[in-house]
Amino acid sequence: MTLKTIVTAGVLTALGATTALADVKVGMITTLSGGGAGLGIDVRDGFMLAVEQSGRDDIEVVIEDDQRRPDVAVQLADRMIQSDDVDVLTGIVWSNLAMAVVPSAVAQGKFYLSPNAGPSALAGRGCDQNYFNVAWQNDNLHEAAGAYANDAGYTNSFILAPNYPAGQDALTGYKRLYEGDLSGEVFTQLGQTDYAAEIAQIRASGADSVYFFLPGGMGISFLKQYADSGVDIPVVGPAFSFDQGVLQAVGEAALGVRNTSQWSKDLDNAANVAFVESFQAEFGRLPSLYASQGFDTANLLISAMDVADVDDQDAFRTALEAADFDSTRGDFAFASNHHPIQDIYVREVILEGDVYTNAIIATALTDHSDVYAAECQF
Amino acid sequence: MSMILLIEQALNGLQFGVMLFVMAAGLTLVFGVMGLINLAHGSLYMIGAFAAATVAGLTGSFLLALAASLAAAAAAGAIVEIAVIRRLYARDHLDQVLATFALILIFSEGTRWLFGSFPLFLDTPDWLSGPVELPGGILYPAYRLGIIGVGLAVALGLYLLISRTRLGIRIRAGESDREMIAALGVDISKLYTLVFALGAALAGLAGALVGAIQSVQVGMGEPVLILAFVVIVIGGIGSIKGALVASLLVGLTDTMGGFLLPIAFAQVMEPANAMLLGSALASMLIYILMAVVLIVRPSGLFGVRS
Amino acid sequence: MLNVDNIELHYGAAQALRGVSLTAQPGKVMTVLGRNGVGKTTLLRAIAGRNPVSAGTISFQGQDVTRTRSEARARGGIAMVPQGREIFPLLSVKENLETGFARLPRRERTIPAEVFELFPVLKDMLSRRGGDLSGGQQQQLAIGRALVMRPDLLVLDEPTEGIQPSIIKDIGRAITFLRNRGDMAIVLVEQYFEFARDLADDYVVMDRGEITLSGTAAEMDEDEVLRRIAV
């Protein structure tokens, strides 16, 4: 298909077919091997599903594996920009990789559409007119969790996250809207797999709730060990630790846990119903948060392609800003810093047949943006 | 801070250490006997966990799952030894590192190909789930007590194997003079395969035991591998006794350090800063321990000076 | 029994053995004499299979073992007491002796009484570590370990090197005993001429990787041999 696209484009150019809009070449850098591969694979599959459903043959996507390593991501980005001559970059899952790639990519006049990572450094003073985040600003889900804790009547939380920038942002985000006291605040090690020591502290702390941000395998380990410890203080977390990709591995230990997310598979809008159904048909598994974000990212891109030529950067940017696409999340708009304005929900982990999944039980924040937008000047 | 919390943390440190020992024992044995640096030891840990998760999923039996982890990891170890590793004994350590690193990639992507990229489910058995009450009113997960028991049993078993059996005599003899042990009629390649498979089986067992309370996923072995290397360097490369002492040291240092340092810093500075600084320092603690041990005893606690 | 026929051996580009031939028979001691560095140890290592030969054949009990690996030759009945003894320093004396069990069927895995009759000191030190023994005791241990294998061929590489005279006598007595028993062939490499002469049934003298003189001990021209091995 790729070759055909190139040939078609070449023939059209040769014939001087000036009426056709130019093809868009997308460079996708994401994590496809190693520990975090599940996330990148979901982003890719969601993105490619939307491309396929659009039926367009003027999108060419180059996909490369960053191995979750910033140096690899930077090399890939350089190659895509310099030799592949892509118009748009996307795909990065991790904030530290995004920080390594995004500023230099947008400085070279490329668009970057983030399907996941939303570090605060790129949302405020470090924002860029060509950088769009289609997922969330990193703090958002944590802010929602803090707001939910107030609603649930929690007044004494024990909070923990890994000691790295996104983990520190997480605890800051939770505390921004949470009004109660803290019975304990702990930074764990990034990649830590054993939480016995932290759970012992939770047991002794007298907390009435536990908030944790431990993405991927860390969250699986924590929840299994927490359930096994016999401590029965209620747990709240952002969606990452309760995502479709990890829930089956956590099993019963996750049942009933409340978590915050901008998306859920049971969100009742036409775009989402169609997305969930087609994703399941195509890949034989339920879509995750990351898949929905990849899907939305592609649809945003396609919506801009419908009305503008990617070579006319100003027009294309305006088209992106309009966010004129049917998001799986329902209402979706960009704030002035090109980060989402969206509702954030509280979900509960349920058992559906023999599959663990989430159901929405409340809305934590409505039309929520982020605190950094005010600092952003293009 | 209560006494109960302190004791519980000490138990956590012990449990962590014991688990590290099961992992590190095979690594140090293979290095001691064959002089081989095996980076793929973490992959064998992963294989054990995946085998256990698969068998537990099929049969629902945790004990069968543990047996499967031992068998699968031992078989993988034996195959790898015969196919790849035995060509590396005579090569220098850099070649060994490169080749066994390649094995990590092969095992990781092979596992992904077979099982997919999403973590598998493996849970503690019903008869070991939940906490038990210890004397003094300490609530402690039964499964973790079980891990401590298994780890200590492995330590005792290895001690008896090495010190009391003919295989143990050959292992120790092979460590000091492999040419002579061959001249005595011992089939050295069979001995090496056996030792490697034994180390692999222990790594697999560790993977399965830990997999039940952690995440069974591709790449789970590498963080543990780094810790296991720290352990065998502190203990003295090749020494099982050293590995045991160093595992417990590392386990206790890491757990108690992560717990006590932020509390200690909070006495003299703002809580938020104490947290950040305390956890940052705690994560370095075992490496500081390693540096100190190496300064005082360059060949490790129980290492043989060469 | 042992038939070394015209073997050559190279260490890289350097040739260590040139056309060496030698035989050993049960109940006889074949002595290999020569100065330092003329290839005596290399010859023994070739017989034991520790170094591969580049030409010629070695046969043992009628079987061609030229390409057979060291451990298989040991299983076939060749026991070696190497230069420098190579006992296992971290193993106890008992464990050192037990390393000789590998070729024996399970029910024969005992330490033969003759080991302790020949070297009573080992019996007193069974639980000591090999590395704690004196040089002479280690030599006795190395010979004892070889005897545990119940070998058909015993090769000894300078067993008197650096050993005090009283123990040299014990070792000489032991070799005589084994020879007289008549079921074992012995190849003895020595620089200590008187010791070798007293034990030898046959002898060869080596120089620069070749055998330059050979014969039976009874017909040995001692002056000629001494001239050839004098430093």
Mean pLDDT by 10 residues, chain B (306 residues): 86 95 94 91 97 95 96 97 94 94 94 88 89 88 95 95 91 87 92 95 96 90 93 92 96 92 87 82 93 94 74
Residue B220 in contact with partner chain A when CB distance is under 8 A = yes
CA distance linking residue B113 with residue A280, whole number of Å: 20
- Residue in A189, A201, A229 closest to B259 by CB: A201
Q: Which two tokens stand for residue B22?
A: 């099961």
Residue B273 in contact with partner chain A when CB distance is under 8 A = no
> Cβ separation of C90 and B172 shorter than 8 Å?
yes
CA distance linking residue C170 with residue C155, whole number of Å: 17
Residue A14 has a pLDDT of 42
Residue B218 in contact with partner chain A when CB distance is under 8 A = yes
Residue A200 has a pLDDT of 92
Strands of A131-133's sheet in order across: A59-65, A24-30, A88-90, A111-114, A131-133
Domain count, chain A: 2
How close A247 comes to chain B (CA, Å)?
Answer: 9
In three-state form (DSSP H/G/I as H, E/B as E, the rest C), the secondary structure along chain C is: CEEEEEEEEEECCEEEEEEEEEEECCCCEEEEEECCCCCHHHHHHHHHCCCCCCEEEEEECCEECCCCCHHHHHHHCEEEECCCCCCCCCCEHHHHHHHHHHHCCHHHCCCCHHHHHHCHHHHHCCCCEHHHCCHHHHHHHHHHHHHHCCCCEEEEECCCCCCCHHHHHHHHHHHHHHHHHCCCEEEEEECCHHHHHHHCCEEEEEECCEEEEEEEHHHCCHHHHHHHHCC
Both A14 and A128 in a single domain?
yes
Both A80 and A157 in a single domain?
no
Residues of C whose CB is below 8 A from B161: none
> Cβ separation of B141 and A218 shorter than 8 Å?
no
Residue B303 has a pLDDT of 83
Residues of A whose CB is below 8 A from B9: 197, 200
CA distance linking residue B104 with residue B111, whole number of Å: 10
Please check whether residue A248 is in contact with residue A354, taking contact to mean a CB–CB distance below 8 angstroms: no
Residue B261 in contact with partner chain A when CB distance is under 8 A = no
- Residue in C74, C95, C101 closest to B183 by CB: C74
Cβ neighbors of B183 (< 8 A, separation 6 or more) are: C48, C49, C50, C70, C71, C74, C80, C82
How close C48 comes to chain B (CA, Å)?
Answer: 7
Q: Looking at chain C, which residue has its C-alpha nearest residue B167? A: C99
> Cβ separation of A34 and B212 shorter than 8 Å?
no
Please check whether residue B182 is in contact with residue B196, taking contact to mean a CB–CB distance below 8 angstroms: no
> Cβ separation of A189 and B279 shorter than 8 Å?
yes
C144 residue type, one letter: G
C and B interact (at least 3 Cβ pairs within 8 A): yes
* Domain span holding position A322: 2-136+267-341
Residues of B whose CB is below 8 A from C101: 166
Residue A35 has a pLDDT of 67
How close B8 comes to chain A (CA, Å)?
Answer: 7
Residue C198 CA, chain-centre distance (Å), reads 16
Q: Calculate the CA dihedral of residues A302, A306, A308, A313 and round it to 10 degrees.
A: 0
Residue C215 has a pLDDT of 94
Both A26 and A9 in a single domain?
yes
Q: B238: phi > 0 → left, psi -120 to 50 → alpha, else beta; which? A: left
Residue B305 has a pLDDT of 56
> Cβ separation of A37 and B283 shorter than 8 Å?
no
Please check whether residue C27 is in contact with residue C3, taking contact to mean a CB–CB distance below 8 angstroms: no
Residues of A whose CB is below 8 A from B13: 197
> Cβ separation of A38 and B117 shorter than 8 Å?
yes
Residue A17 has a pLDDT of 39
Instruction: Write the DSSP assignment of A257-269 as a string of letters.
Output: -EEEES--TT--S
pTM of the model: 0.84
Both A368 and A296 in a single domain?
no
Cβ neighbors of B82 (< 8 A, separation 6 or more) are: B193
> Cβ separation of B187 and C99 shorter than 8 Å?
no
Can you give the pLDDT of all 378 residues of chain A as single tens digits? 444 444 444 444 444 333 345 689 999 999 998 767 889 999 999 999 999 999 999 999 999 999 889 999 999 999 999 999 999 999 999 988 999 999 999 999 999 999 999 999 999 999 999 999 999 999 999 999 999 999 999 999 999 999 887 888 899 999 999 999 999 999 998 888 899 999 999 999 999 999 999 987 888 899 999 999 989 999 999 999 898 988 988 888 899 999 999 999 999 999 999 999 999 999 999 999 999 999 999 999 999 999 999 999 999 999 999 999 999 999 999 999 999 999 999 999 999 999 999 999 999 999 999 999 999 998
How close B166 comes to chain C (CA, Å)?
Answer: 8
Where are any strands of DSSP class E within B84-232?
131-134, 138-141
Both A254 and A144 in a single domain?
yes
Residue B130 has a pLDDT of 87
> Cβ separation of A230 and B15 shorter than 8 Å?
no
Residues of B whose CB is below 8 A from C95: 169, 172-173
Find chains touching chain B: ≥3 CB pairs under 8 Å. A, C
CATH of the domain at A147: 3.40.50.2300
> Cβ separation of A163 and B276 shorter than 8 Å?
yes
Both A357 and A326 in a single domain?
no
Residues of C whose CB is below 8 A from B184: 71, 74, 79, 99-100, 102, 145, 149
How close C102 comes to chain B (CA, Å)?
Answer: 6
Q: Looking at chain B, which residue has its C-alpha nearest residue A34? A: B219
Give tens-digit pLDDT for C156-212: 999 999 899 999 999 999 999 999 999 999 999 999 999 999 999 999 999 999 999
How close B183 comes to chain C (CA, Å)?
Answer: 5
Residue A16 has a pLDDT of 39
B50 residue type, one letter: F
Please classify residue B216 by burial: count the beta carbons closer than 10 Å to its beta carbon, then call 0-12 exposed, 13-18 middle and 19+ buried. buried
Residue B20 has a pLDDT of 96
> Cβ separation of A228 and B141 shorter than 8 Å?
yes
Which one, of A338, A276, A322, A341, lies nearest residue A123 by Cα?
A338
Q: Which two tokens stand for residue B183?
A: 């001249």
Please check whether residue A5 is in contact with residue A23, taking contact to mean a CB–CB distance below 8 angstroms: yes
> Cβ separation of C50 and B188 shorter than 8 Å?
no
First to last CA, chain A: 38
Total beta-carbon pairs less than 8 A apart between chain A and chain B? 131
Collapse the DSSP code of A66 into the 3-class scheme (helix H, G, I; strand E, B; otherwise coil) and give the result.
coil
Q: Which two tokens stand for residue C39?
A: 């290839």
Which one, of C60, C2, C56, lies nearest residue C29 by Cα?
C2
Q: CA angle, corner A294, sides to A291 and A297, nearest 5?
A: 150
Residues of A whose CB is below 8 A from B108: 33-34
CA distance linking residue A246 with residue A259, whole number of Å: 14
C56 residue type, one letter: G
> Cβ separation of B172 and C88 shorter than 8 Å?
yes
Residue A21 has a pLDDT of 55
A100 residue type, one letter: A
Both A33 and A106 in a single domain?
yes
Both A333 and A221 in a single domain?
no
Residues of B whose CB is below 8 A from C98: 166, 169
Q: What homologous superfamily is domain C2-229 in, according to CATH?
A: P-loop containing nucleotide triphosphate hydrolases (3.40.50.300)
Please check whether residue B303 is in contact with residue B297, taking contact to mean a CB–CB distance below 8 angstroms: yes
> Cβ separation of C102 and B185 shorter than 8 Å?
yes
Both A121 and A191 in a single domain?
no
Residue B214 in contact with partner chain A when CB distance is under 8 A = yes
